[in-house]
Amino acid sequence: MLKTICLCCTFLFSFLAYGAEQPAGAGASGTLRSPAALSPEIVSTVFARMGMLTSITFLTDKPLESVMKGGPEINVMQDSNVVRIQPLIPEGVASLTIRVEGVTYVIRVRITAEDPEVPNPVFSFAKKGRFDALDASLSAAPALKPADIDINGAIKVIERAASDRPFRDSLKNYQSLSIRKIYAWNHNEIHFLEAHQFADLDLIVFKVSWVNQQGTAFYLNQNQYKVFIDDRPVQIQARRQLAPRSIVFPGQLEVVWLAVQGYKLRLDNDWSLRLPPDAAELRGYIRSNP
């Protein structure tokens, strides 16, 4: 099934993300209970008191990639998946930003003179699709003319992100998907490797790679690589091919990049690659259609 984003739903999520505050585990009556589910769209709240150490436990088997405080009002200490907060002022508001599996969660810390009802809150993580976080950026992305699609610049970012983790973490509107599908073509294996999304540009870039393992050269032009979602073709707006003149010689590595822009397509679609008929298919066609 083709997956795009719903603009109305995205607007609603954006409103929730910036306009809602959710006390940790609060029910309809405001009573606190643990564990509470963290969500990227909702700012959760914990309560703390100066002179008292508040421990926040995060129920996850994944490491906390980063823990950052939003000001000088608190000290923060981390021990694995437990974060301890020490308020430095008698009353006020601070913030805590947690990053897990590439997703950022914000917790508001309210410092009061009273003992918190839940002194050591416990958080779980809301079940959320890995690719949902960038829907808001995708919905606001402009449509570009094919001439304005910088596929070379996108490839440079993709290749650097693969080997430079700090650089990868700094890309707030970028995510990738491993496809790893293999297609047989003229006794070669064509690898449909991965997809990379730049959500703020509504741009998805696919990588295809193969090595000519036969004793003869093959012609395969970048325009002959077709991308599909289920049985629906996806129009390619930009391409780049490594092989000069589209000829891949024996033992030569070929890499092809294909870019799709402007369709509000989510990354978590069932992508497939289609190639022109190879020699065996053509011979079979000729035999069956004399």
For residue 9, pLDDT beyond 50: no
Rg (CA), the chain: 25
Pairing of strands 122-125, 36-38: parallel
CATH topology of domain 7-125: Immunoglobulin-like (2.60.40)
pLDDT value of residue 31: 33
Which range in 1-10, 52-61, 105-114, 244-253 is most confidently predicted, on average pLDDT?
A: 244-253
For residue range 143-177, list pLDDT tens digits in order. Answer: 898 899 999 999 999 999 999 989 999 999 999 99
Choose between 201 and 287: higher pLDDT. 201
pLDDT value of position 124: 87
61 or 284: which leads in pLDDT: 61
Proportion of the chain in helix, strand, coil states, percent, rounded to 5:
20, 40, 40
Supply the CATH classification number for the domain 140-288: 2.60.40
Give SS3 for 6: coil
Cα 99 from Cα 67, distance rounded (Å): 7
Q: Are 208 and 256 in contact (CB under 8 A)?
A: yes
Q: How many CA atoms lie within 13 A of 261 on its CB side?
A: 21
Question: Measured between alpha carbons, how far is 22 from 191 in angstroms, rounded to an integer?
Answer: 46
pTM above 0.75, yes or no: no
* Residue 11 pLDDT: 35
Higher pLDDT, 280 or 27: 280
Q: Under 8 Å CB-to-CB from 87, ≥6 apart: which residues?
A: 48, 49, 50, 51, 52, 54, 73, 74, 94, 109, 111
Choice among 8-17, 109-118, 229-238, 245-254 with the minimum mean pLDDT: 8-17
Asked if residue 290 has a cis previous peptide bond (ω within 30° of 0), the answer is no
As annotated, the residues of the chain forming the CATH 2.60.40.1080 domain(s) are 7-125
Q: How far apart are CA 211 and CA 213, in angstroms?
A: 6
Over pLDDT 70: what percentage of the chain? 85
227-247 pLDDT, tens digit per residue, is 999 889 999 999 999 999 999
Share of the chain above pLDDT 90, in %: 56
Q: Output b/e per residue, 167-205; b: 16+ Cβ within 10 A.
A: ebeeeebbbbbebeeebebbebebbbbbbbbbbbbbbbb
